[in-house]
Amino acid sequence: MSRRPLGQLEAEVLAALAAADGTVSTADLRARIPGDPAYTTVNTILFRLHAKDLVTRSRAGRHYLYELAVDESRLVADRMRDHLRHASDPPGVLSRFVQDLTADEEHALREILNRSAPVPLPESEDEP
């Protein structure tokens, strides 16, 4: 069964969890999310993320403490790939993405690309 893409608030909750040091309560997490979402909204998102196995939770009295259960970089990369796959112009999206990188982000991307194994070009039919 394939998972539905994450919504914006789910992504913000996951990012806040990734930035947290260890486990956090719903109230603590809510304070880390921009836009002052309702406690019940954050709690509902956390229950959904738990059902999707993206967060773990443990009881602390009457409440739960939550922690990210997946690698954030893998999760974000999967979302980026999913968006790219559904774009009508993937090369245009990549071009825009690269144009909007900061100098540090561009440097990091170049380092990663330089470390990756080169992709062989297809042989031309004109060559012997």
Question: What is the arrangement of strands in the sheet containing 24-25, beginning at the earlier edge strand?
Answer: 24-25, 63-68, 55-60
Average pLDDT, integer, range 93-107: 93
Q: What φ, ψ does residue 12 adopt, rounded to 5°?
A: -65, -40
70-91 pLDDT, tens digit each? 888 888 888 889 889 999 999 9
Q: Is the pLDDT of residue 6 over 50?
A: yes
Q: Is the pLDDT of residue 108 over 70?
A: yes
30-53 pLDDT, tens digit each? 999 988 889 999 999 999 999 999
The confidence band for 2, taking pLDDT boundaries of 50, 70 and 90, is: very low
CATH class, 8-68 region: mainly alpha
